[in-house]
Amino acid sequence: MPAEASTQELIARRNRLLGPAYRLFYEQPVHVVRGEDVWLYDAAGNRYLDAYNNVACVGHCHPHVIEAIARQAAVLNTHTRYLHETILDYAERLLATFPVDLGQVMFTCTGSEANDLALRVARTCTGGTGVVVTRTAYHGVTGALADLSPSLGLPEPTAPHVRLVSAPHSADDDTGKIFASHVRAAFEDMARSGIRPAALLVDTIFSSDGVFADPPGFLRPAVDAARAAGALFIADEVQPGFGRCGEGMWGFARHGVVPDMVTMGKPMGNGHPIAAMAARPDLLKEFGARSRYFNTFGGNPVSAAAGMAVLDVIERQRLVENARRTGTYLRERLTALRARHELVAEVRGAGLFIGVELRRGASPAAGETTKLVNAMRRRHVLISAAGPGANVLKIRPPLTFGMEHGDLLVEALDQALQENSIN
């Protein structure tokens, strides 16, 4: 059967069986059958450079991770109501990557569950309900998090306990001060409505807001403002975490802040569903005194083995360093495209978390961005777009991405930008 016919058949089957809520990437969806390191392969044997997959952080199908999962799955898989060392060994290893104040960790299966749990802890410990998030944030799929994920399109009016603030969208010296003033005003507004604060919840790379990383430290005044209002600071590290930003393991560290809670997921098991929330032990003491928590699959021995293997690879292959080095190189090469293509307005990010903003004069070039993402896909380079104006190319490859892969990406982007339809 020709590849196109089988793609159409798969799409029809998907629609029939899974319903209409799911979305596919690209005008011509990619039918992937195999992955290896930074490469994905389609059913016809074509190779695609994966520059978007932050889940396969140590590369698709890394043999060390596969072996760890298979070994543990062959011996035992059960849950946290039994004693088992693996989860404790992993908890020790993971917590060692955090500041000492974040001394305990609870395991879940998804980033959404981790954020949901952090929210419950924040509400229990503060007695408040109010949460401040950024205007185009995404924090997860549960009902509670849908209220805090305006990128999904919030109902009007926004839930009474939620306040939205603009993401810090410039790299100026006073960015931190301005962001803090928005956060302060949001908590003051909440107080005027009689709503007590629970948390400031932000993705520390502001991914769905359009990728904002600079200047390092800009988060600090906002965290101070949230704490002064009586709220806790939850750092959502689901996207920036595990070394992607190229300076240590966690995005918050670039800002010189220590969160009260940190949530993580996506890259944690390189595709195996494992996520977690690290927290100050005094918060979990209070939460534990009032609530119980059991997550059937969260923290099972196979997940812990996967998580441990990912940490092994990040260390052994020096992937944080690679993220910094390759990320710097890639941002430099992308920035050089500005001289050749007017559409390329700004290149930003940290490590291998990169946003390329496209504008026509002062206007967000949303249509051109979509065209470009699809033109890149036709050239077998997979990226996507983000931001409130849908005009920021989002580049987020596996951390094993090398300079040669960066070159392929930049050359494909240069050619795609030259296409008549885009320039």
Q: Which residues bind ligand PMP (CB under 6 A)?
A: 110-112, 115, 138-141, 203, 207, 236, 238-239, 265-266, 275
Strand partners, 32: 42
Q: Minimum distance from CB of 88 to ligand PMP (Å)?
A: 24
CB 259 within 8 A of CB 102: yes
Q: Minimum distance from CB of 114 to ligand PMP (Å)?
A: 8
- Characterize the bridge pairing of strands 392-395 and 384-386: antiparallel
From CA 164, how far away is CA 149, in angstroms rounded?
Answer: 10
Sheet strands (E) in 257-317: 261-264, 275-279
Exposed / middle / buried, residue 154 (Cβ in 10 Å: 0-12, 13-18, 19+):
middle
Cis previous bond, 267, omega within 30? no
Give the CA-trace dihedral at 402, 406, 409, 411, to 10 degrees.
-130
Backbone torsions φ then ψ of 47, nearest 5 degrees: -105, 135
CA distances from 268 to 55, 103, 148, 297, 356 (A): 8, 18, 23, 15, 26
Q: Which residue is nearest to ligand PMP (CB)?
A: 111
* The residue to which tokens 């996207």 are assigned: 239
Give the DSSP H/E element, type plus range, for residue 363.
Answer: strand 363-364
Nearer to ligand PMP, 139 or 169 (CB): 139
From CA 54, how far away is CA 96, in angstroms rounded?
Answer: 22
Nearer to ligand PMP, 114 or 344 (CB): 114
Q: Minimum distance from CB of 411 to ligand PMP (Å)?
A: 29
Nearer to ligand PMP, 238 or 347 (CB): 238
* The residue to which tokens 């059960």 are assigned: 78
Cis previous bond, 20, omega within 30? no
Nearer to ligand PMP, 55 or 408 (CB): 55
From CA 208, how far away is CA 392, in angstroms rounded?
Answer: 9
Q: Minimum distance from CB of 328 to ligand PMP (Å)?
A: 23
From CA 305, how far away is CA 293, in angstroms rounded?
Answer: 22
Exposed / middle / buried, residue 278 (Cβ in 10 Å: 0-12, 13-18, 19+):
buried
Edge-to-edge strand order for the sheet containing 32-36?
Answer: 32-36, 39-42, 47-50, 381-382
> Of the candidates 308, 338, 302, 304, which has an alpha carbon nearest to the alpha carbon of residue 410?
338
Q: Minimum distance from CB of 142 to ligand PMP (Å)?
A: 8
Q: Minimum distance from CB of 335 to ligand PMP (Å)?
A: 25
Q: For residue 417, what are its two tokens?
A: 């930008």
Nearer to ligand PMP, 141 or 191 (CB): 141
Nearer to ligand PMP, 58 or 375 (CB): 58
Q: Minimum distance from CB of 289 to ligand PMP (Å)?
A: 27
Nearer to ligand PMP, 51 or 238 (CB): 238
Q: Minimum distance from CB of 149 to ligand PMP (Å)?
A: 8
Nearer to ligand PMP, 98 or 345 (CB): 98
Q: Minimum distance from CB of 228 to ligand PMP (Å)?
A: 25
Nearer to ligand PMP, 209 or 357 (CB): 209
Nearer to ligand PMP, 275 or 323 (CB): 275
Q: Minimum distance from CB of 201 to ligand PMP (Å)?
A: 9
